[in-house]
Amino acid sequence: MANEQSGGVMETVKTVVSALLIAGVIRTLFFQPFWIPSGSMKSTLLVGDFLFVNKMAYGYSQYSCPFGICPISGRLFGTEPERGDIIVFRHPTLGVDYIKRLIGLPGDKIQMKDGVLHINGTLAPQVAQKTFVESYGPQGPQRRTPACSNGVVALGNECEKESFVETLPNGVKHTVLNVRKTEGDNTPVYNVPAGHYFFMGDNRDNSVDSRFAQGASGGVGYVPFENLIGRADRVIFSSAGARMLYFWTWRGNRFFKGLD
């Protein structure tokens, strides 16, 4: 009986170890889970969206492994990203993962003028659409409240943002939001160096991104190719509550929602 019990315990241990190894391989080579913590990519991504990042999209670097421990120099099986891709990358100095939209490729000149994006001297046209509206209140585990273009808003009331469809030079169309005039609305010309990329959030006035220099404020600056982790293609599910397991707060209209 003792031997049978010992054998059963060993089989359980082997099963658990095998499952962990398989999960580790999948996470390292194929997909990485990512939980949206902030509103910098609204309305494309909402606080509480859960997705898997496609790590095969651009090949593999040291940051393809958890904690950046892959013994890889440069990038293996590297494939160039496309302008407009939504990408998870390792912050160049802070060691944390960010998710933003790829705006500038190596050699590009990027500038914001009066809140409108210019790429290589040509503006990316914006067409106004229906105002983005959400309920004003604490969002996600960090319990941050959103910024509103309609002034001071009481808890539970409608929080508005101007919404536009922006078209990038390669034809990619996506939604951007505007709240108010900020320092990120008018910038110098950024010359994206070779081997680096320029990222911005879709919620332009609530995004710390490549428009801001790397430093204590969390500015991203230019992101090296090897820091790219993978592409976000689809939301798996979404929770409007403080915890993922609060199923009564799940957003039914975002299950397996494709991303533009």
Catalytic residue positions, numbered: 40, 100
Output the CA–CA distances (angstroms, integers) from residue 237 to 37, 143, 224, 234, 248, in the order listed: 14, 19, 30, 9, 13
Cβ neighbors of 190 (< 8 A, separation 6 or more) are 104, 109, 110, 111, 198, 210, 211, 222
Quick one: which of 230, 232, 229 has its CA closest to 68?
Answer: 229
For residue 102, CA distances in Å to 22, 54, 157, 231, 241 come to 31, 15, 33, 10, 28
Cα gap 72→84, rounded to integer Å? 27
- Dihedral, 160, 134, 117, 193 alpha carbons, nearest 10: 140
Phi-psi region of 203 (alpha: psi -120 to 50; beta: other; left: phi over 0): beta
CB 101 within 8 A of CB 109: no
Is residue 177 within 8 A of residue 202, CB to CB? The reply is yes
**What is the CB neighbour count within 10 angstroms for residue 252?**
7
Joined tokens for residue 211: 């428009």
